[in-house]
Amino acid sequence: MTCRETPPPSQARQQPAVEEGWSALALARLTRPQVSALLGREGYRLTFRLAACRRRWGWLPAQYHYTDAAGTEVIWLAGPDPELREADPQAPAHRSRFWVYASRRAPERAEQIRARLRQVWGLDWYPLPEPPAPPLRPTS
């Protein structure tokens, strides 16, 4: 089986300008209806989904991307993150993984959803490292 992504909606949506991101590992087994219901009550809607797929080293779990009206994004990986374990063999065991990215228009929404997910599922959030700066190019 190969990876197939759900086609994007017919209307092209502009990606929000993202400032900060956080990640959390979930120890509880969560289901898509649980996650979608909670995020839906908080004003998030499913905007993109990538089905689980087989990779050379095993299965990559399905991932779901949710966005609110302000552009805050929540990504849920519906299973253990094999790339995390590959990058860091000491990474804790987990059942799924979340990422939250704040939009510049309403950065407080990221804190609100992180607090709600912490309250409901006991998630501990960690800031993501800043992406590396692009290399400088010589000028003529």
pLDDT computed for residue 85 by the predictor: 79
H helix runs in 14-124, sequence order? 32-41, 82-87, 108-121
List, for residues 26-58, the tens digit of each pLDDT value.
Answer: 999 999 999 999 999 999 999 999 999 987 767
Cross-strand bridge partners of residue 23? 99, 126
How do the domains of the chain map onto residue ranges? 18-125
Residue scoring higher pLDDT (100 or 86): 100
Dihedral pair phi/psi, residue 119, rounded to 5°: -65, -45
H helix runs in 61-107, sequence order? 82-87
Q: Does domain 18-125 bear CATH number 3.30.310?
A: yes
Task: Determine which of 64-68, 99-103, 126-130 has the lowest per-residue pLDDT on average.
Answer: 126-130
**Residue 35 DSSP label:** H
Whether 6 shows a pLDDT value over 50: the answer reads no
Percent above pLDDT 70 for the chain: 79
CB 71 within 8 A of CB 106: yes
Q: Which residues contact 23 (CB under 8 A, 6 or more apart)?
A: 97, 98, 99, 125, 126, 128
